[in-house]
Amino acid sequence: MSETVPSVEVTALAPANDPSFENVWDEIVWRGLVHVSTDEGALRELLGGDPITFYCGFDPTAASLHLGHLVQLLTVRRLQLAGHHPLGLVGGSTGLIGDPRPTAERTLNSRETVADWVGRLRSQIERYLSFDGENAARMVNNLDWTAPLSAIDFLREIGKHYRVGTMLKKDAVAARLNSDAGISYTEFSYQILQGLDFLELFRQYGCVLQTGGSDQWGNLTSGTDLIHRVEGVSVHAIGTPLITNSDGTKFGKSEGNAIWIDAELTSPFSFYQFWLSTADADVVQRLKIFTFLTREKIEEYAGLVETEPFRRAAQKRLALEVCAVVHGLEATEAVIAATEALFGQGDLRSLDAATLRSALSELPHVVAEQPVPIVQALIDTALVPSASEARRAIAQGGVSVDGEKIADDTYMVSGTLPGGVSVVRRGKKTLAGVFVA
């Protein structure tokens, strides 16, 4: 947050596939979205032919989707833009169970909580799909066909098609069996429920393709295997890669906290800064996966990363495009304006109050009921370690409040910016906020 950020032209692209690819399969392969799949040749032919129906499922294990899910949402959108029919599935039943994690059993959430999260996730997913036209999207909930099934019917009609030996070989199941935590029969059965989803969607809508993360590959093939056994038909699955940073750390996590696409859980300002801080080694691949920029344009940015990395042009375009897709262009423009103003390239007083308060909440800050002496503000926000150091910094002309240099160490910080806040700066790059109630 202390780096000066050059201005960026706000021109986010509307979602569109790259016309330089004749087949959407070739495009998603080039973008690095296919980590594992069923027969590649058959998939290329399938996706390059007449429109098909496909689906992607999202379990309500939290109140919001995060950046890992965004890979799926954008992949589904790319396939829809190619003319195919998407089904967005929210797991009202599988969310009550939870897919096995490699390390420990999930805590079961209440039915009321899961139902609430189903509604929240559904509204998020709907923003990324088109519900108009010949290939309009459709939302489905697997609770609709799972709830009416009795345990006896489930075991007779679905369970008899599964072999325990095969189920034990699934990666997540095998990892849990080899751990101290073990695995419950509940989570062990999750793959059967997901297989049932694919079968039901095949029967209802002629669905022949499922997409999901490669860590879900065992669950994806549960459905393809079930349909083959029951219906004698070959259907397909695509597993996208798990996104990690070049240093091997899991993508989308920051000190154990997910980057959510819900603005109330991760502010647009924080979301934008996350993408802006992408490492040079990662930014080109992120442009491929998370934006609709063409191959030609991405290659231009790849060249700039090599020749002018200090300009961070690729990072700025990445942050713009992804923030605009998730939060809208208007919110993104406000975030960019706040970023530029905070780092001395814009007018702080022209910012809207909500964006400014959100931005300052990401900085060291203090909340006060009344104006705060500048010396105390510098100490409370950890910009200086002591009162003597604060007075020395002021005397040397190194302190400003709301863009104005402070020469008087008795100055009162009173929150004169929109939203009742003030920006305290020490030197050129170190900032803090003061919220005056």
pLDDT (tens, 9 = 90+) of the chain, 437 residues, equals: 334 444 555 556 689 999 999 999 999 999 999 999 999 999 999 999 999 999 999 999 999 999 999 999 999 999 999 999 999 999 999 999 888 877 788 889 999 999 999 999 999 999 999 999 999 999 999 999 999 999 999 999 999 999 998 888 888 888 888 887 788 989 999 999 999 999 999 999 999 999 999 989 999 999 999 999 999 999 999 999 998 888 777 776 554 668 999 999 999 999 999 999 999 999 999 999 999 999 999 999 999 999 999 999 999 999 999 999 999 999 999 999 998 898 867 789 999 898 899 899 988 999 999 999 999 999 999 999 999 999 999 999 999 999 899 999 999 999 999 999 999 999 887 999 999 97
CB atoms within 10 A of CB 257: 11
333: in domain: yes
Contact 281, 246 (CB under 8 A): yes
- The Cα–Cα gap between 12 and 297 comes to 13
Q: Say if residue 163 is in the same domain as residue 138.
A: yes
CATH of the domain at 406: 3.10.290.10
pTM attached to this predicted model = 0.89
Residues 6+ apart with CB under 8 A from 79: 24, 28, 47, 54, 86, 211
Decide if 140 is inside a domain: yes
Does residue 22 lie within any of the structural domains? no
Q: How many domains does the chain have?
A: 3
Please name the residue that has the structure tokens 């093939």. Answer: 221
Cβ atoms 412, 422 nearer than 8 A: no
CATH number at residue 193: 3.40.50.620
User: Where a domain ends, among 240, 269, 288?
Assistant: 240
Contact 109, 96 (CB under 8 A): yes
Structure tokens at 211: 């997409």
**Integer Cα distance of 197 and 154 in angstroms:** 12
Q: Are residues 372 and 429 in the same domain?
A: yes
What CA–CA distance (Å, rounded) separates 130 from 146? 27
Asked whether residue 24 is assigned to any structural domain, the reply reads no
- 41/182 same-domain check: yes
- Which pLDDT score is estimated for 422? 96
> Are residues 85 and 229 both part of a single domain?
yes
Please give the pLDDT value at position 99: 83
13 in a structural domain: no
Count the neighbouring beta carbons within 10 Å of the beta carbon of residue 25: 22
Q: Do 262 and 226 share a structural domain?
A: no
The CATH number assigned to the domain holding 341 equals 1.10.240.10
* Same-domain check for residues 173 and 322: no
> Are residue 209 and residue 248 in the same domain, yes or no?
no
Domain end (from 337, 359, 381): 359
Closest Cα partner for 199 from 233, 240, 176, 174?
233
Same domain, 138 and 227: yes
Of 359, 382, 403, which residue constitutes the final position of a domain?
359
Cβ–Cβ contacts within 10 Å for residue 50, how many?
7
Output the pLDDT for position 5: 44
Would you state the pLDDT for residue 252?
62
Residue 160 C-alpha from the chain's centroid: 38
Residues 236 and 173 in one domain: yes
The reply to whether 332 falls in a domain is: yes
Based on the domain organization, do 189 and 91 belong to the same domain? yes
* Host domain of residue 416: 363-437
> How far is residue 232's CA from residue 253's CA, in Å, rounded to a whole number?
42
| Domain presence at residue 6 | no
Domain contains 162: yes
Please tell me whether residues 88 and 231 are part of one structural domain.
yes
Same-domain check for residues 224 and 261: no
